[in-house]
Structure 1
Amino acid sequence: MTIDFTMSAAQKAIQVKARTFSESVLASSIHDADSELDLISAFVKRKSAYIEAYRQGIATAMLPSAYGGAGLSCLDFTIATEEISAIDPGFACTVLCNGFGLMPIVWYGDEAQKRRFVRAATSDPDEQYLAAWTAAEPSGEPQATTISENPLAATGIGLTATLRGDHYVLNGRKKWSSGAGWDGLGSNSQIVIARTGREIGYMRGLSAIVVERGTEGVTCGFASDGVSRKPTDALIEFNNAEVPVENLLRATESRGDVVINRNFAWFGPVAAIAAAGVARAAYEVALRLSKRYSGRSIPLITQFGNVGYVLGEVAAKIESARYFAWRAADYLDKHEDHAEILGAMCKLNVTEIMFDCVFKCMQIVGAHNAERQYSFTRNLHDAALLPIFDAGNMTMQRRRVEGVLAADGFNPRGAMDDEPIYVQRMTGSG
């Protein structure tokens, strides 16, 4: 039997559904959103598209059907993500954040927590539920750095969760929460990584806690430097915020590193396919223009050999990127959403290569790439962002790969042989 890269009928239907939504609903919201200078306002202008995505089950597609989600596998979700990202990867990120903020409950929550939190996400009467992932902290915090700066020595988590009776009392700050909500006041729920234990060193003493919107003592804002005001750059402050003890994901107690590692591994192929979607959009524009535009020469520019060579190279890289993302997603599905090394390698390889593809397409289009109709300004921004996005390539992702490779029992043919390569704890010095 040969290795089959053909989508099943069900997967093709998922692709068509995502493509139809993206081209008929999402695309119409981009012009107004992109013309908005304030990025929070731009985010809100996509709200109607999000509500439609919620109604169609796209916004909660990654959640199990037993709790009201679409029950898509990681591979299925990856297929859908490419179609959305080809139109607007920022919107794909909004949907992805629901996975970031809810999949840890699916993995580590008890039955009551799954019914309470995941079911709430899929049965919102307002059809606009947003979840968030809140792990990193501002530099300079007591005992704090960002996780991506040193994932192996997470004395970098300064947010404390102190048990007092039937509540945890949270104190500290978080940066880069993956969602500020539609009004800038916070998402409906967020998974927060906090220090519940006294252990210092590596990731010991960390746990995952669900913090709900409206919790007293929790405020959401943005850095005062004004450099970035994306909804995914929310600064969350916890001032004696009381969270019920039943919001702690018990299976994560003093194992917060496992949650961080697994979440970013799950993110790997999705980020990769998002980059492929962005590059695909740029490639299709460059190809179309090259067949219609002659510049100051008589023949169309596509007839110049170097243009065809570059476009052919870009097309090949996009194809290989897609298959790597599919493979990593398939591996996640086969190994209980664990792909700590394959997910990292996929994100590293694909996001950096796709940035180069977008830049090459811009060189072909030349001075015209600044015109709004071609969307190259947005494509370049998105392609540049993905390599440094959650679990940045130069820090956390490369450190993860290095750490796995250095393990005594690592099998260099493990991925090829489809063997499980699990990382139970983050280890290392520092």
Structure 2
Amino acid sequence: MNMSFVLREENRALLERVRDMIRNEIMPLEEEYQAEINKGDRWQYTERQAEILEGLKAKAKAAGLWNFWLTDSDKGFGLTTVEYAYFAEEMGKTPLGAEVFNCSAPDTGNMEVFERYGTDKMKEQWLKPLLEGEIRSAYLMTEPDVASSDATNISMSCVRDGDDYVLNGEKWWSSGAGDPRCKVYIVMVKTGGDDLPKHKRQSMIVVPADTPGIEILRPMEVYGHDDAPHGHMHIRFTDVRVPAENILLGEGRGFEIAQGRLGPGRIHHCMRAIGQAEMALEQMCKRALQREAFGKKLAQLGANFDIIAECRMEIEKARLLCLKAAWYMDQGDARAAAPWISQIKVVAPRVALKVIDEAVQMFGGQGVSQDTPLATAWTHVRTLRLADGPDAVHRRQVARAELKKHTQEKI
């Protein structure tokens, strides 16, 4: 089996342009952008924040560095998933990277859903402004009262009433729903009774964020941080009426849509995590060469040589596994790709957490403070071990695929 992880020449040049913009234009503004979050209303963009973010987005768009995530599409650059993985890694090196190039989650997954499964009306109303980076969106799946790692538990009521569906229930960890630019939700709901096969009971429906009956209860905090102005919101729906035409593909198609959405998204998350690990290793090395203790550079103390070497090797292994999962995705067989995606979904966050933690240790007290990006990076990557399926669910999928090689029994 010929497996290639090579970038085509024209895309290698494109990646270099992205890398250059991240290093020379985005990273120098990171600290100033973050400092603006605590000024005034944390859930509104300050004038300077908007100026920084929209200015960078305008530069990227003008340079044609936009919507790389549109793999295998005539609307984008036609990158393969393998090729896009390299771009995602670079964008993961800065908190602003993904949005500057219009490659942010959950928008990329939502745009993919609109492009694949949306009506012409949805594409005009929602996909078009999302592709232009004019609005943001959220994906609402997880619920507070059920174990949402088993998506067959999703229970938000969605009942047909004439020309509408009526939604009642709560969602939480609705990432991006706190952003004042968030205008539309894609919501996983229950439309079928328990008499239906368990994977035919759920559906996805498009809900404008300003629909009456939607109440944002609170932002969920990640280790004490609310991630403003993006936010992971806890939302209540009370008799929310949505036109029946807003259901995607029809009742009972939710799982089908979810699998089309989540596969590429997991790879994107993992490669961004590898980018965060690369930045942490770079910061660790610089610190080790600049700081002295006990008359020596930190690099020469204790096991720091070994720690740096282990981090480099772990990153390389994780990247190769991610590229292999991306290659399987490019072959067009989602079932064959699934165990590889599950493997990298477990491995990449683990590796990134290990590297970031070692970098924190090298920085000492400064490493857990607001004076480096390491503490924030750690909380984001730790969350990734739960987002898009917790480790245990993905390990279960990997084990089932392995066991099936040796038995005809249902695993």
**Same fold by TM-score, threshold 0.5 exceeded?**
yes
Map residues 358-377 of structure 1 onto 2, 5 A cutoff. Answer: 358-370=356-368, 374-377=372-375
Alignment of 1:204-283 (within 5 A): 204-222=200-218, 229-230=226-227, 231-250=230-249, 253-283=251-281
**Does structure 1 retain, via aligned residues, the 8 Å contact 2:26–2:96?**
no
CA 213–381 in structure 1, closer or farther in 2 if over 3 Å, else same = closer
| 1:109 paired residue number | 118
CA distance in 2, matches of 1:43, 1:280: 31
Alignment check: 8 A CA contact 2:22 2:97 kept: no
Deviations 1:377-409 (A, max 9, x none): 223323323222332223x32344345455589
Q: Which amino acid aligns with 1:41?
A: R
- Separation in 1, partners of 2:192, 2:148: 18
Structure 1, residues 88-128: CA drift from partner, whole Å, max 9, x if none?
A: 279569812112222223333355544553223224xxx43
**In 1, Cα distance between equivalents of 2:194 and 2:350:** 37
How far apart in 2 are the matches of 1:94 and 1:173? 28
Q: Percent identical across equivalent pairs?
A: 20
User: Is residue 2:188 matched to residue 1:193?
Assistant: yes
Q: What SS is found at the alignment partner of 1:388?
A: coil
Note closer, same or farther for the CA distance 1:211–1:8 as it changes in structure 2 (3 Å cut).
same
1:165/1:61 CA distance change after superposition, 3 Å: farther
Q: Partner of 1:415 in structure 2? A: none
Contact 1:404 1:410 in 2 (8 A): no
* Aligned equivalent of 2:316: 319
Say if 2:34 is the partner of 1:41. no
Runs of 5+ consecutive residues of structure 2 not aligned to the other structure: none
How many residues get paired?
Answer: 396
Q: Specify every segment of 5 or more residues in structure 1 that has no aligned partner in the other structure, as ranges.
A: 140-144, 412-426
**Backbone CA RMSD of aligned residues:** 3.6
Matched, 1:99 2:108: yes
**Aligned partners of 1:176 and 1:233 also within 8 Å:** yes
Note the C-alpha offset of 1:79.
Answer: 1.7
How far apart, CA to CA, are the structure 2 residues paired with 1:84 and 1:78? 10
Q: Deviations over 1:242-289 (max 9, x none)?
A: 222222111x63132233334332222222212211111111111122
Aligned positions of 1:25-424 closer than 5 A: 25-35=25-35, 36-37=37-38, 41=42, 44=45, 47-52=50-55, 54-55=57-58, 56-57=60-61, 60-63=67-70, 69=76, 71-88=78-95, 95-110=104-119, 113-123=122-132, 127-139=133-145, 145-148=146-149, 150-151=150-151, 154=152, 156-183=153-180, 187-199=182-194, 202-222=198-218, 229-230=226-227, 231-250=230-249, 253-297=251-295, 299-304=296-301, 306-335=303-332, 339-370=337-368, 374-394=372-392, 396-405=393-402
What is the SS of the residue equivalent to 2:172? strand
CA-CA distance at 1:345 after TM superposition: 1.0
Kept after mapping to 2: 8 A contact 1:136/1:175: yes
| Higher alpha-carbon deviation: 377-386 or 218-227 | 218-227
Kept after mapping to 1: 8 A contact 2:219/2:231 = no
Amino acid at match of 2:330: D
* Residues 179 and 233 in structure 1, CA contact (< 8 A), matched pair in contact too: yes
Distance 1:213 1:363, change over 3 A: closer
CA contact (8 A) 1:64 1:70 kept: yes
Aligned to 1:16: 16
Deviations 1:191-244 (A, max 9, x none): 111112223673331111111232232233415899553334112222222222
CA gap of 1:26–1:10, structure 2 versus 1, over 3 A, is: same
Contact 1:101–1:191 (CA<8 Å) still a contact in 2? yes
Contact between 2:111 and 2:131, CA under 8 Å: does it hold in 1? no
The aligned amino acid for 1:265 is G
